[in-house]
């Protein structure tokens, strides 16, 4: 097993909260349930901690150990959502420009089938992600609310349709009887935060269009998450995925914020209960230390 200096630095930044990919993402300061306005989670630090990109008025670039500098769709969509929130809060034009730069990139780089190649630079056999599709839809939904451009609406529809396409047909959704699971990684176990980000995108699409078909699918995925949420409860800390990978402190905090948003939107007592449990875990120093040590060990054991 070889551990590169690059990965050690990456994991250290993530575990200590110093990664631009893992900035604080508590509840969105401009989020209003039932409206397409501010985003569910606070993504503004994605913008504020990357002043070079803001100054150049460009979309963000991500550095990968193997691929080098790449345009990573999830990073671009989150940056755009953060920029839009900052514009809502400050009315400063530079943030609106960056929002539209990200929207234009999303439209220009969307495939004809509605997908974005999210993981192709690291996993060519499984390049698609429900999280990417959902966040892309959330970005486009805000652009449509501002511009009322039918081309943007069509791009959002293509994106959500691809997200809801079964994995067996090349999409990112897993249908099992009455269950609908949305997969951040189509070749791995279900990731909790990715599933919830995907639900956020589907919710935004339903708000934007009011289409019954998508509302029924949204309800199906919410009901599925409600019945499976216990799989992500480790008894002292939240789990990153359904196969027992423990969350880093960053992802544990993210789960709390996401569940709070779901609770507000859907008035769901199950999400409220697990949010409160995860908060209790976080406030217990022994639980924090135990989870942190286990996460470090899991990272060192990764192939």
pLDDT in tens, 143-181: 999 999 999 999 999 999 999 999 999 999 999 999 999
pLDDT in tens, 227-256: 999 999 999 999 999 999 999 999 999 999
Residue 24 is encoded by which pair of tokens?
Answer: 């604080």
Task: Report pLDDT for 98.
Answer: 98
**Rounded average pLDDT over 2-13:** 54
CA–CA dist 97, 143 (Å, integer): 12
Looking at the predicted structure, is the pLDDT value of residue 300 above 90? no
pLDDT in tens, 62-93: 988 888 999 999 999 999 999 999 999 999 99
Half-sphere exposure of 33 (CA within 13 A, CB side): 10
Contacts of 275-280 spanning 24+ positions with Cβ under 8 A:
277/233, 278/233, 278/238, 278/252
Q: Helix 212-228 crosses helix 192-209 at what angle (to 10 degrees)?
A: 160
Share the mean pLDDT of the chain.
94
Residue 19 is encoded by which pair of tokens?
Answer: 């990664």
CA–CA dist 168, 221 (Å, integer): 18
Task: Report pLDDT for 159.
Answer: 99
Task: Report pLDDT for 1.
Answer: 42
* Backbone angles phi and psi of 186, in degrees to 5: -80, -10
pLDDT in tens, 18-27: 565 678 899 9
pTM for the model stands at 0.93
CA–CA dist 182, 26 (Å, integer): 22
Task: Report pLDDT for 8.
Answer: 56
CB 85 within 8 A of CB 49: no
CA–CA dist 136, 198 (Å, integer): 9
pLDDT in tens, 97-129: 999 999 999 999 999 999 999 999 999 999 999
Going along the chain from its start, the domains and CATH numbers come out as 5-301 (1.50.10)
CB 88 within 8 A of CB 36: no
């Amino acid at each position: 097993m070889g551990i590169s200096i690059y990965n050690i630095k990456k994991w250290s930044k993530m575990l200590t909260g110093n990664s631009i990919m893992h900035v604080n993402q508590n509840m969105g300061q401009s989020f209003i349930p039932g409206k397409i306005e501010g985003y569910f989670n606070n993504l503004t630090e994605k913008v504020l901690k990357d002043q070079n990109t803001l100054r150049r008025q460009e979309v963000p670039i991500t550095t990968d150990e193997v691929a080098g500098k790449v345009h990573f769709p999830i990073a671009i969509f989150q940056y755009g959502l953060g920029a839009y929130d900052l514009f809502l809060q400050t009315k400063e034009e530079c943030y609106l420009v960056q929002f539209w730069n990200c929207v234009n990139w999303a439209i220009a780089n969307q495939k004809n089938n509605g997908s974005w190649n999210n993981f192709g630079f690291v996993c060519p056999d499984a390049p698609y992600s429900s999280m990417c599709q959902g966040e892309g839809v959330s970005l486009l939904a805000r652009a449509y609310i501002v511009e009322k451009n039918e081309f943007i609406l069509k791009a959002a529809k293509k994106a959500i349709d691809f997200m809801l396409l079964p994995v067996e047909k090349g999409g990112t959704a897993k249908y099992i009887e009455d269950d609908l699971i949305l997969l951040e990684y189509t070749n791995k176990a279900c990731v909790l935060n990715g599933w919830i980000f995907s639900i956020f995108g589907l919710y935004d699409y339903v708000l934007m269009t009011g289409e019954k078909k998508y509302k029924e699918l949204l309800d199906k995925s919410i009901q599925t998450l409600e019945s499976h949420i216990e799989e992500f409860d480790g008894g002292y800390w939240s789990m990153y995925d359904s196969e027992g990978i423990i969350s880093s402190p960053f992802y544990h905090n993210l789960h709390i914020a996401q569940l709070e948003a779901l609770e507000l939107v859907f008035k769901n007592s199950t999400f409220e209960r697990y949010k409160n449990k995860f908060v209790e875990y976080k406030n217990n120093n022994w639980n924090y230390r135990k989870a942190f040590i286990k996460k470090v060990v899991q990272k060192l054991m990764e192939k």
